[in-house]
Amino acid sequence: MLVLTRKKDESILIGDDIEIRINKVDGDGVRLGITAPRQVPVYRKEIHDLISKSNRDAAMASGKVEEDLLNAKKALTRAPFQG
Amino acid sequence: MKLDADNQRLKDLPTDAHIVRLPKGLVGLPELKELEIVFKEDQLPFMWLREQSEDGFSFAVVEPAALLDSYSFDVKDEDASQIGIETGEDVLVLNVITLRDDEEYPVTVNLAAPIVVNRKTRIGMQIILDDFEKHPTHHPVSQIEEQCVSCAN
């Protein structure tokens, strides 16, 4: 990991197309302004990790035999989830 | 990284598969750029979204309308333009299902990150929605809607 120190209003360029600017520094928090090409997704890391993990968990489970999917379908017709 | 130690191919699924292209793959799995949708009648509304290769990944997916009364979300303009969609009618939505060894909640659906696909071009992307309270990653699926809108297709 490259570690840089920036002050408020300073920026970092990643490649030629991605800019991250320190807009505001407020205690423990930093407000960043991000400029990137439209096709480059920008995620909060913890959210990306959550979805990423969810996808991976789903991939493993889905590798089981189709019997699991039929059981899943049966599970659908059980009593509704409360709450 | 070996994620599919137990993966078994579903060899006898029908060949009326549809190819979906995800230019950015799935979140965390960007290499999954080309997948096919296959299904068996008796498994509907569940379908499979899977790699075409022998050892590839597969995901159980579902069109959310088959399971939920109301599931709506906004697609950001930049995402919509990337896959060329303009209205809700252009879109096929698929949500990833997680099957778990859990007696109580064996089936959960990821409402937080739907895969939106342009029906005509079959180009899609997985988008991450903003509101996790409303759209959890593991929403238990317990009751199927009477009218299965995906069954007809």
Contact B29 A62 (CB under 8 A): no
Reading the block at residue B13, the tokens are: 């699924």
CB-based contacts of A23, cutoff 8 Å, min separation 6: A8, A9, A31, A32, A33
Q: How far is B89 from chain A (nearest CA, A)?
A: 23
DSSP state for residue B80 in the 8-state scheme: H
Q: Do A69 and B113 touch (CB under 8 A)?
A: no
Per-range mean pLDDT, top range of A2-16, B44-58, B66-80: A2-16
What letter would DSSP give residue B78? H
CATH topology of domain B2-18+63-147: BH3618-like (2.30.290)
Question: Tokens 């990137």 appear where?
Answer: A36
Residue-wise over B81-119: b if at least 16 C-beta within 10 A, else e?
Answer: ebbebeeeebbbbbbbbbbbeeeeebbbbbbbbbbbbbe
Under the banding of pLDDT at 50, 70 and 90, the label for residue B17 is low
CB–CB of A19/A12 below 8 Å?
Answer: yes
* SS3 at position B82: helix
- Taking only residues 56 to 75 of chain A, the set having a beta carbon closer than 8 angstroms to any beta carbon of chain B reads 56-66, 68-73, 75
Q: Where are the alpha helices (DSSP H) in chain B?
A: 77-83
Per-residue pLDDT tens digits for A27-59:
999 999 999 998 788 889 999 999 999 999 888
- SS3 for chain A is CCCCCCCCCCEEEECCCEEEEEEEEECCEEEEEEECCCCCCCCCHHHHHHHHHHHHHHHHHHCCCCHHHHHHHHHHCCCCCCC
C-alpha gyration radius of chain B: 15
Interface of B with A in 58-117 (CB under 8 A): 58-60, 67, 78, 81-82, 96-100, 105-107, 110, 112-113
Q: How far does B5 lie from chain A, in Å, by closest CA?
A: 8
The answer to whether B24 faces chain A, any CB pair under 8 Å, is yes
CB contact residues (below 8 A), chain A span 7-46, against chain B: 38-39, 41, 43
Among A40-49, A60-69, B118-127, name the one with the lowest average pLDDT: A60-69
Token pair listed for B47: 């379908």
Chain B: closest CA distance from residue A45 (Å): 11
A6 or B152, which is more confident: A6
Q: What percent of chain B has pLDDT over 90?
A: 35
> pLDDT digits over B19-46, tens only?
999 999 999 999 999 999 988 888 888 8
